[in-house]
A and B are shown apart, each in its own frame.
Chain A
């Protein structure tokens, strides 16, 4: 089970945070700080995994953005990398050639997509088609509202 998922920039700016287990605010801030320093300090050509306390940190950099998640010991690191990748694919499909700015300016959309992919720290839906469909369905409602009429189709 995934404990948390963080997206942060190369400068260590947090772009998205998802916590699957309840943690006090202070603890969260500390974790975010630990993760950014640890992951950003990694040299190139090292593996994408880290040990942190009794968790395993799996991270991957996509352009200027780091995707970083924490797993329990029995979880499969490679699979987690693919979850991150699938998330990127979904973002890409939704935003169309996604970049960091899309996520900065539409971070709530990024959360909605994540909520369709993962639930309670476990993968919820692996079919890209289904996820896009359900996001579409939610956005369809927006289309009925006048302010979203001009929203480009994805």
Chain B
């Protein structure tokens, strides 16, 4: 028990003494609880509870026990039951307490009954009279209690006894009674719909009840009714819409507000009902467009409950007859969910997406990167929901990738469980799920690993696990087995053969019977049959008759392997000596250290052989890491498609381009890098092309845009993301081709902190050459950026060639001089927040070390030297159309004290790094 509880416990007596009467009542319970918290072992607890229960037993059977005492006893009994101990002898007394006690005792009695007795418990019959009496009581509280217990525990066959009385309560003057009666009837409807059919008219009355609580309760019934037959309730649509409007308009009493949202539960219930009514029904849907719109609009507040409403709203909008305007709004809402940093909302967003992609698969495209991220999310629930979503967008093109992902997920389960299984039951249960779902698609290793795990554990520790496995498999085998995958059957038969004897309570004959039953099934493969027979062989002797029968029936089998095994089985079961000799328990002893090879190894070593290295070590030594250690940013311009460089007229989608081509061909190509030669594409650093903010005047905006749309630059910040991108393109293939452009843009804005922006600057066309310029911008500086991509082009229609290219860029490539005056520099300096100071090497080989050093930096890094005054110099630069960086340099002895400032937190570090390098190389 934690310290806090300990402390509070010591403070408790004072608390209880203040309540003189109540203290006596709860005293015993308090003692019990307190002494339990002081115990250290489960065993002690068992003993204590045993003593407590026998004390209770004595007290309940004593004729001197008063009802008041009985109430206290009952609370203790409830506590013991909650701890998991059996106090069934008190059940009858609970009923008695409900029967005979005053209101207070009744309350506890009813509570005990509802906790102890399940629907269907025979003692419940004894309660009927009490409940009937209480339903007719003039005491409101007794009526309430009776209704509560009726809704909680009454089984189907006892409903008719109380139904008329409960029905009467629908017109009770007190709203709390009406409300409870409605809910009790709802429960009856769920258990036995036929019995409440005649009261539908009264439900209608409840719906128009003047108390909003009663009305809200009746919606539970209506939701159920409408779910079953929406057509019969279309006429109520108007009423539901009116109610929702009133709720939204704040017409309900303030205490129905939940965190200042008006009656959220009621709203959600209504939204659900409306979506059922409007489904595939245009005229009904039209009635609700307005209120749904208002609902979407109202739910703006940033609280969980408004998101809950929004979620239902979105679902409703997508369920009813579609209206473009609403769909658009709803789609935007989903975006808010999916992009939310709050994980619960993300989850709900995925759920909403899963729902809506069934209606409009394109919506998934907008969020593909988020989806990919969620697929690798550390939270299992999120992952699973994502797979659910992927499952919905499965189509002929992406099916293999998605199925692969799902199987990854499945196989991920066993590996995870092998190391982190919190307890045996969960582990076995999960493995059962994996085997039965993943089945024969699992890798061969998975069942083997699992069996090894079972087999290699120490007998004392892992018997529990094995026992549980045996128990669980017997239950599985008793059920329907024909659908179970072969590998699962094999695992089960191996475990049963090996460990069934651990479980004493298991009847051997039962095990044999279950296994032989499997043999009779046609769906069981012959390999599995072999497993089953081996298992049967291992089950200890004693059931010779069953085994002989089996061997007999199999001896005529067409499968020779089976026949042979059956023969062996027969011999073994008849000859116990032979059996003992063959099947020694725990016979396998594996020398995993391979000590028997020691002699050989030492000889070989002595003869000059290289010592053994494990494979992973060998691999480490072989592969050199050629990449920089951080900030590797491959950029993939993966789908540049420049169609037909031979004949521009064959260009697809390029009316704008072809129209401009004449004009474009007159462009002066001087200064434009030639990236296309006779041999095709010349890989060059395109990123250093003209700055984006000074576009060439000759380029037509129209063609620029056109090209940008056709050539889709896909900038990515890291290798990992490149993988994601590839995954995304394989997952989302075939979903709405038209929207892929906006998608690319979207991708870029979603989720990436570091990014490069690509835009086609111009696309020049001559007869055989196309020149494309991209300007890459660096938003966040990084030391190195590697750029990879492909260009695909067509020489003949239908024949696409692809050229890969790659290159590496560093921050230095993105640095441009910032031309400012000294005054401007001064002003800017003061406004910048992030600064870094460092001493650099001073180039001392010339007359003016400061000037020499700054010029060297200027040449290497495209800096702008603003001014040099005495021993101080000021220099300015900027990231290509990005953040500026100001450098203040001062000669400090033999070093150059550099002080950098920038609005961007990381930029000074990178510039400093490049300055250091430039000076070192000088």
Contact = CB atoms under 8 A, between A and B. Distances in A.
A17 B78 CA distance: 11
A29 interface: yes
A47 B216 contact: no
A125 interface: yes
Contacts of B422: 37-38, 40-41
Contacts of A146: 21
A37 B426 contact: yes
Contacts of B41: none
Nearest to A149: B21
A146 B151 CA distance: 32
B18 interface: yes
B79 interface: yes
Nearest to A29: B84
B29 interface: yes
Contacts of B18: 150, 152
Interface in A13-43: 14-17, 20, 22-25, 29-30, 33-34, 37-38, 40-41, 43
Contact of B426 (A17, A38, A49, A142): A38
Contacts of B120: 22
Contacts of B186: 120, 122
A108 B75 contact: yes
A34 B426 contact: yes
Contacts of B418: none
B2 interface: yes
A11 B1 CA distance: 8
B213 A49 contact: no
Nearest to A74: B272
Given A138-B107, A149-B21, A150-B19, A126 B216 contact: yes
A78 B312 CA distance: 10
B434 to A, nearest CB: 14
**A interface bracket (residues with beta carbon within 8 Å of B):** 35 or more
Contact of B256 (A41, A50, A51, A127): A127
A99 B256 CA distance: 26
B159 to A, nearest CB: 13
A22 B21 contact: no
Interface size class of B (residues with CB under 8 A): 35 or more
Contacts, number: 191
Contacts of B102: 145
Contact of B425 (A30, A124, A149): A30
A100 B29 contact: no
Contacts of B78: 107-108
B325 to A, nearest CB: 25
B563 interface: no
Given A25-B118, A138-B141, A147-B22, 8 more contacts: A29-B84, A34-B425, A37-B423, A46-B379, A64-B4, A105-B26, A120-B186, A124-B179
Interface of A: 1, 10-11, 14-17, 20, 22-25, 29-30, 33-34, 37-38, 40-41, 43, 45-51, 64, 74, 76-79, 81-82, 86, 99-101, 104-108, 111-112, 115, 119-120, 122-130, 134, 137-138, 141-142, 145-152
9 tightest A-B CB contacts, nearest first = A147-B21, A22-B119, A78-B308, A120-B187, A129-B255, A46-B379, A47-B343, A119-B183, A79-B308
Interface of B: 1-2, 4-5, 8-9, 12, 18-22, 24-26, 29-30, 33, 68, 75, 78-79, 82-84, 102-104, 107-108, 111, 115, 118-120, 140-141, 144, 148, 151-153, 155, 176, 179-180, 183-184, 186-187, 190, 213, 216-217, 220, 253, 255-256, 258, 263-266, 268, 272, 304-305, 307-308, 311-312, 343-348, 351, 378-382, 384, 422-423, 425-426, 429
30 contacts: A11-B1, A14-B84, A17-B115, A22-B120, A22-B155, A29-B84, A33-B423, A34-B425, A40-B422, A45-B343, A47-B347, A64-B4, A76-B312, A78-B304, A78-B308, A79-B268, A99-B8, A104-B33, A105-B26, A106-B26, A107-B82, A120-B151, A124-B179, A125-B213, A130-B176, A138-B103, A141-B104, A141-B141, A147-B22, A150-B22
